[in-house]
């Protein structure tokens, strides 16, 4: 383990020493690729003595969405969690208190949302220190990450936490880079760029791929991409998760300061202790989760508006809806009747490929 850490430190030091310019871009690209490979070794330990990477820190995924809370010790994460969920997570006033995750579940707009405290993602977690590695595995499965910051010292913490998460292949509030990448058996590296590139040239791309022992591939750059973007695509294990910065302890600052914070993107100021501004936070969480609620209607009865079936907005066809209820339902499926904004007539007969929208009402007709 320590060997890898030493190598990482060495490369980071060399990158810090290297001036950034046209001449060194190629070399920096190589170093970045090496760094990404070493980091991957840390996240996924080499096989061997059983146990796997997730001992003692596995949380069953329940509910319709999962939110991870990340933050330095003593910024009020546990207070926020227990006030949001009424979950009682041992709160002590010294550093490093929460060691295991206590999931809490809140119901909001009919959706069951699981809240997880992800303890100890602090400097060094991505280097395998602390309980870092297990926490990361769980963090990667979240639908939304809340970074809880102390409003009095937000920026330093924010940078460190973002760096940590980046090092684990978690990308916050960003889209996957627009790069086409296809491995082949022969034919060398084919590079096509559909727009001017400020950082990547054929040579840099070749050398980054060579670092991964890839000598035959088609690469299409559809946007002005960086070396990091290319590495993300080649690594292929990146997850893209939306993120909200929660600035806690706003009871300790002035109104003027609060006005400034309100203008920062992805930011919600709150006071966990006084429960200020929770409704704003929940509303923002709902926006970022992008969930779609579908109400069910048994034949001859009123729709059940209390417990919607909740789907992620990327998968909202009638078939997805059936799968969510029970995988055998689709075999008996004949057609569905839908009321709501996704159809022209109420009700309308639709097949399994019809895409549903938020708050539609559906009745499944079986064969």
pLDDT digits (tens, 9 = 90+) for 10-42: 888 888 888 888 778 888 888 888 888 887 776
Decide if pLDDT at 98 tops 60.
no
pTM beyond cutoff 0.85: no
Decide if pLDDT at 93 tops 50.
no
Residue 295 pLDDT grade (very low, low, confident, very high; cuts 50, 70, 90): very high
Average pLDDT of the segment spanning 315-323: 87
Cα 313 from Cα 65, distance rounded (Å): 12
What single-letter DSSP state applies at residue 317? B
- In words, the CATH class of domain 63-171+237-286 is alpha beta
Cα 293 from Cα 307, distance rounded (Å): 9
**57 to each of 60, 122, 136, 246, how far by Cα in Å?**
10, 17, 10, 25
SS3 34: helix
Q: What is the CATH number of domain 290-364?
A: 3.10.20.30
Decide if pLDDT at 346 tops 80.
yes
Cα 346 from Cα 118, distance rounded (Å): 45
Residue 62 confidence (pLDDT)? 65
Whether a cis peptide bond, with omega within 30° of 0, leads into 347 is yes
Q: What is the pLDDT of residues 170-185, one digit of tens each?
A: 888 888 888 888 888 8
Q: What is the pLDDT of residues 268-280, one digit of tens each?
A: 888 877 878 888 8
Per-domain residue ranges for the chain? Answer: 1-43+176-233, 63-171+237-286, 290-364
Same fold, 63-171+237-286 and 290-364: no
Decide if pLDDT at 125 tops 50.
no
């Amino acid at each position: 383990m320590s060997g890898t850490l030493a190598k990482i430190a060495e490369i980071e030091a060399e990158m810090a020493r290297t001036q950034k310019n046209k001449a060194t871009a190629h070399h920096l690209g190589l170093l970045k690729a090496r760094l990404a490979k070493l980091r991957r070794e840390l996240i996924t330990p080499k096989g061997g003595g059983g146990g796997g990477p997730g001992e003692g820190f596995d949380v069953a995924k329940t509910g319709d969405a999962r939110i991870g809370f990340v933050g330095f010790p003593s910024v009020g994460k546990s207070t926020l969690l227990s006030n949001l969920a009424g979950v009682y997570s041992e709160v002590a006033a010294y550093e490093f208190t929460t060691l295991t995750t206590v999931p809490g579940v809140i119901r909001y707009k009919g959706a069951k949302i699981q809240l997880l405290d992800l303890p100890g993602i602090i400097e060094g977690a991505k280097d395998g220190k602390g309980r870092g590695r297990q926490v990361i595995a769980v963090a990667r499965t979240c639908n939304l990450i809340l970074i809880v910051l102390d409003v009095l010292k937000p920026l330093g913490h924010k940078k460190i936490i973002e760096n940590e998460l980046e090092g684990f292949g978690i990308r916050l509030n960003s889209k996957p880079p627009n790069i086409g990448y296809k491995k082949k058996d022969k034919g060398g590296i084919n590079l096509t760029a559909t727009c001017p590139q400020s950082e990547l040239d054929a040579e840099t791309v070749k050398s980054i791929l060579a670092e991964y022992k890839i000598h035959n591939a088609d690469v299409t750059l559809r946007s002005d991409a960086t070396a990091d973007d290319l590495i993300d695509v080649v690594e292929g294990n990146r997850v893209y998760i939306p993120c909200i910065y929660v600035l806690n302890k706003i009871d300790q600052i002035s109104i003027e300061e609060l006005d400034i914070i309100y203008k920062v993107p992805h930011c919600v100021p709150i006071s966990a202790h006084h429960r200020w501004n929770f409704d704003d936070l929940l509303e923002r969480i709902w926006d970022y989760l992008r969930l779609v609620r579908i109400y069910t209607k048994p034949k001859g009865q009123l729709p059940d508006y209390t417990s919607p079936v909740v789907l992620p907005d990327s998968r909202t066809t009638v078939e997805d809806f059936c799968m969510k209820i029970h995988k055998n339902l689709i075999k008996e499926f004949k057609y569905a009747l839908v009321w709501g904004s996704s159809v022209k007539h109420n009700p309308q007969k639709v097949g399994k490929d019809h895409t549903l929208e938020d708050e539609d009402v559906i009745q499944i007709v079986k064969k």
